[in-house]
Amino acid sequence: MTRMEGYKILLLAFLVLLVVFGGLTLHKYWLRSRPPLPAAATSQESPHQRREVILYFASEDGSRLVPEVRELNGCRDQESCIRATIQALIHGPIGNLGPVMPAHALLLSCTEAGGTAVADFSADLQKGHPGGSMSELLTVYALADTLASNYPHIRQVRILIEGAEVESLKGHVDLRRPVPADFSLVRRQGTGAAPGEPAPGTIIEEEVKEGGR
């Protein structure tokens, strides 16, 4: 092999190394300059939430309140949960219990402040109510007791009709002031009236007019 041929071989090897090194450098630079791939999209939707609530409906003989457990779907915050709870009360019981509100009544709004819930209903709550002192008691206290059972910070409820205060639904329970929760109408499991509570049917008219207290 001549000296000239040796130089050619060395030059060719140098060129090959230069090409390989240049290619690696260019690839590394391209990786650094390429914009990062977008992160995988994550779902912003909160998981489907469920809340178990206790609703109070009329007993089969219409003399007391009886609890019924219900599961609410899509309950995302306290305000929507309270509203959904009242809506479920309007829709009525699933079992053999009796409804406590006219099914066509509408809940227009519901707010809460300082332990008092303010529920504003359409006029159908008043117009469609069957009347009678016991029936009116069951309606008012089913609402107050349902809210207090599921939201302990709520201790009383003010009932409005079309945004306005009313004296009563049908002339028996005073609605001019908030109605506090009162579980004396709730039937204990396997018992009649609890000690110190009025037996079914003995609530007198004067007590009813004062809110049944």
Query: 170-195: per-residue pLDDT in tens?
Result: 999 999 999 999 999 996 544 444 33
pLDDT by residue for the chain (213 residues), tens digit each?
Answer: 566 666 666 666 656 565 555 555 544 544 455 445 444 433 344 455 788 999 999 999 999 999 999 998 878 888 999 999 999 999 999 989 999 999 999 999 999 999 999 999 999 999 999 999 999 999 999 999 999 999 999 999 999 999 999 999 999 999 999 999 999 999 654 444 433 333 333 232 333 333 443
What lies within 8 Å, CB to CB, of 108 at 6+ separation is 120, 121, 122, 162, 163
Token pair 């506090």 is found at: 180
pLDDT score at 24: 55
pLDDT score at 152: 93
- The letter for the amino acid at 90 is I
Q: How many CA atoms lie within 13 A of 126 on its CB side?
A: 20
What lies within 8 Å, CB to CB, of 35 at 6+ separation is none
How do the residues of the chain divide into helix, strand and coil, expressed in percent and rounded to 5? Answer: 35, 20, 45
Query: 156-166: per-residue pLDDT in tens?
Result: 999 999 999 99
